[in-house]
């Protein structure tokens, strides 16, 4: 899968491409990453990429011409790629969207700066806008890295075990079950007996139940959006009966 990032600060991505899972994906030729410096496509001696907003106001706005020229260069190597702008107004990025983007042939990610991007560039060239949350950053670079990281780990063969991505938090609408590793006891707190039992059916049942419980306690909004399985519904009914008994 091809990724190309349009940015005023391509040097920010050098360490990103060269560490961890992303580096392994590059070395294994699972992804082909690139960055394009928007400033290289600005005209004039000073390579100006921003200007004052029409109508007045604070801050500066990214000019459409350098952005369009940088995008045209990116499209030469990936003409069918989807172009996404990192923007606070964009669609909220989540795991289902990451899964959808992982099936694309390529992604071109445009990193805005300053007060924003000239709307004509958005209207004419951008396929969609993405936001990583309801807060404002100084630029879209960190958001682009978040999107790439989440998408890359869903590409088959990137992770050591392809089942890993499928069991991640949010993949089935629940947060993940609790995790334990050695030693078996820490500060007098033991690992749950079921995890030492070797009974895989009971272990899977425990994991499903703890995932459901952790979702209920930490992210009940996810349950409100999810169609519960008969087993999950049965567990919730049991908990309700137990709570009713406790509160009398």
* Catalytic center residues: 88, 115, 153, 168
CB 39 within 8 A of CB 67: no
CA distance 71 to 65: 10
Residue 6 sits at φ, ψ, to 5 deg, of -95, 120
Question: What's the rounded Cα separation, in Å, for the pair 140 and 7?
Answer: 8
Find out whether 126 and 175 touch, Cβ atoms under 8 Å: no
56, 73, 203, 246 from 61: Cα distances, Å: 11, 22, 55, 60
Contact yes or no for 177/165 (Cβ under 8 A):
no
d(CA 38, CA 169): 36
Cis peptide before 183 (omega within 30 of 0): yes
Residue 225 burial by Cβ neighbours in a 10 Å radius (0-12, 13-18, 19+): exposed
Burial of 198 (0-12, 13-18, 19+ CB in 10 A): exposed
Nearest to 86 by CA among 102, 67, 73: 67
């Amino acid at each position: 899968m091809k990724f190309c990032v349009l940015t005023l600060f391509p040097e920010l991505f050098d360490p990103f491409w060269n560490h961890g899972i992303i580096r392994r994906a590059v070395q294994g030729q699972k992804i082909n990453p690139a960055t394009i410096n928007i400033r290289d496509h600005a005209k004039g001696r000073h390579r100006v990429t921003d200007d004052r907003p029409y109508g007045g106001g604070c801050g500066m706005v990214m000019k459409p011409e350098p952005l369009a020229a940088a995008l045209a260069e990116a499209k030469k190597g990936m003409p069918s790629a989807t172009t996404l702008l990192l923007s606070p107004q964009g669609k909220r990025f989540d795991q289902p969207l990451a899964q959808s983007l992982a099936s694309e042939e390529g992604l071109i990610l445009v990193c805005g700066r300053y007060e924003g991007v000239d709307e004509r560039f958005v209207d004419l060239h951008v396929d969609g806008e993405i936001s990583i949350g309801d807060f404002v950053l100084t630029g879209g670079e960190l958001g682009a890295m978040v999107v790439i990281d989440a998408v890359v780990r869903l590409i088959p063969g990137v992770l050591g075990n392809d089942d890993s991505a499928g069991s991640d938090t949010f993949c089935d609408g629940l947060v993940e079950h609790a995790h334990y590793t050695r030693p078996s006891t820490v500060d007098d707190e033991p690992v749950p007996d079921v995890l030492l039992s070797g009974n895989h059916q009971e272990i899977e049942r425990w994991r499903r139940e703890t995932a459901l419980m952790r979702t209920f306690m930490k992210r009940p909004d996810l349950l409100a959006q999810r169609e519960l399985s008969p087993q999950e519904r049965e567990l919730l009914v049991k908990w309700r009966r137990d709570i009713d008994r406790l509160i009398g």
